[in-house]
Amino acid sequence: MDNAFAQDLCAALSTRPRAISPKYFYDEAGSLLFDRICDLPEYYPTRTELGILERNAQDIAAHMGPRAEIVEFGAGALRKVRILLDAMDRPARYLPIDISGEHLSRAASALQQDYPGLDVQPVVADYTQRLLLPAPLPGAGQRVGFFPGSTIGNFTPDEALHFLQVAAQVLRGGALLIGADLVKDPAVLHAAYNDSQGVTAAFNLNLLARANRELSARFVLEQFAHSAFYNAPRQRIEMHLVSKRRQMVSVGGQCFEFEEGETLHTENSHKFTIDSLRSLAVRAGFRPGPVWTDPDNLFSVHWLHAPL
């Protein structure tokens, strides 16, 4: 099997407990479902972070200083970077990094149209690995990384540390602006990942639908249930797909058995305290700066100084 999704899915189904990386949610259909999640009434992170950025745009822009470059890890959230660009003093360059070239060039050309004077340079790369970025523009200000959405929460703690270490290297002398969802009332978290319209359930089940589309797998979607719950000791939402009965599934010609109630663990979404995010950043070499939150303390946006 030369396909990473096929390899990782078969490996996940062959081990116990069964778990697969959440990165496989994001094919075309999954990305559209995620966009719908962001607009759900129960899913507070997106609108809360947007509100924090809007209310504090001038202050954040002052920290960035004139002629700054923004390096965005992932090219999803154009709505968010626009808030920064609109407040900044003559932004010099925007470097969105994404593993999907198609998604990236769409995002980059949309932004270029609206900001004709801005130098937009997409970088196709896996930002969870080592990163090589173009040299700073002559006369440019500081290089500021932007990692919104609490995507850091979808990494394992080791991956999160590694990501921050890579970011600290490529942002040397600059800073990182990062969004982190906060630990809160489990009922609020539960509602955000168990929405009444069933969009999060469809997003979770799309992993199996994708396997059917791409890997000639034969998952019967009706035989799996979406499950999302807050694991309080580990401060994370866990998403699973639960087999509703004993069944056999086939992926790429290989057969796997599910017992009734057995799960495939599809995602962790870690929640942070302000201190836990700052301590992690310190371990990666950053020096914590200001933190902006909302009046209900649902979400946080951190300014982290990169090492020199």
Interface residues toward ligand AVI, by CB under 6 A: 37, 45, 149-151, 153-154, 193, 200, 203, 267, 269
CB distance 203 to 25 below 8 Å: yes
Distances (CA, A) of 159 to 47, 71, 130, 149, 163: 26, 19, 13, 17, 6
C-alpha 104/C-alpha 95 separation (Å) is 10
Token look-up 């002052």 returns 62
Minimum CB separation of residue 5 from ligand AVI in Å reads 18
Cβ nearer to ligand AVI, comparing 61 with 298: 298
The closest of 142, 162, 116, 133 to 62, measured between CA atoms, is 142
Least gap, CB of 77 to ligand AVI (angstroms): 10
Query: In this complex, which beta carbon is closest to ligand AVI, that of residue 37 or of residue 164?
Result: 37
In the chain, what is the greatest distance between 2 CA atoms, to the nearest angstrom? 64
Q: Which is nearer to ligand AVI, 271 or 305 (CB)?
A: 271
* Shortest distance (Å) from residue 169 CB to ligand AVI: 23
Kindly provide the residue ranges of all beta strands, DSSP E only, lying in 152-298, ordered along the sequence: 175-181, 224-231, 236-243, 247-251, 254-258, 263-270, 287-293
Q: What CA–CA distance (Å, rounded) separates 270 from 48?
A: 17
We find the least distance from the C-beta atom of residue 179 to ligand AVI, in angstroms, to be: 9
**Rounded to an integer, what is the distance from CA 119 to the centroid of its chain?**
25
CB 96 within 8 A of CB 75: yes
**Choice between 203 and 219, CB closer to ligand AVI:** 203
In the complex, what is the shortest distance from the CB of residue 37 to ligand AVI, in angstroms, rounded to a whole number? 5
User: Considering beta carbons, is residue 28 or 86 the nearer one to ligand AVI?
Assistant: 28
CA distance 274 to 281: 11
From the CB of 237, what's the least distance to ligand AVI, in Å? 7
In terms of CB distance, is 118 or 183 closer to ligand AVI?
183
Closest-CA residue to 31 (of 106, 124, 118): 106
Q: How far is the CB of 4 from ligand AVI (least distance, A)?
A: 20
- Helix, strand, coil percentages in the chain from 3-state DSSP, rounded to 5: 40, 25, 35
> What stretches of 46-136 adopt beta strand conformation (E)?
69-73, 93-98, 119-120, 123-124
State the pairing for strand pair 119-120/93-98: parallel
- Minimum Å gap between C-beta 266 and ligand AVI is 9
For ligand AVI, which is the closer residue by CB, 69 or 181? 181
> Which residue's CB is nearer to ligand AVI, number 147 or number 174?
147
